[in-house]
Amino acid sequence: FKHWIPDAGWNGLSAVELITNLKGLAVNILEPLADQYPGFRINCAFRKQTGKSQHNSGMACDIQYPGKTVGDEFKICQWIKNNLPYDQMIFEHGNSARIHLSFKQSGHRTDGSRVLSYKPGGWSTGKEYTTGLVLAYPENVRVSPGGVVFA
């Protein structure tokens, strides 16, 4: 397994803390989402990598809904925005879509960076799948061909 949780922990957190974070993500975000909109696939959650990603701490996952259109997933994002206590949601879309979701036990973002929408080639504002979803994006965000990068 590529992203197993080491017994010694990862990223300054013990294995128990990582598992607790994953459980918080599941209980507070993924289970209520599955009740309302079943059928998503988790592409990744915890992963061992360098950087500041919340995946390193077991606080984030990327999901997709096989067979759903970008428009369908946009509607799901709107429901998430209005109903779930996520820390950050990034809706990445182009010909297909995926949703990055994170959950923190405390200290959710309050700086307007909680909801982002990304379209390959750059941030899109006022487009079909960003209107009513994008709140703002922080100044330390840039877009590369590989996706969203937090500086």
CA-based R_g, the chain, Å: 15
Strand 60-64 to 115-119 pairing: unpaired
Percent of all residues in the chain with a pLDDT value above 70, rounded to a whole number: 68
pLDDT confidence tier of residue 8, bands split at 50, 70 and 90: confident
Average pLDDT over residues 42-55: 87
Instruction: State pTM to two decimals.
Output: 0.76
pLDDT confidence tier of residue 27, bands split at 50, 70 and 90: very high
Judge whether residue 83 has pLDDT over 80: yes
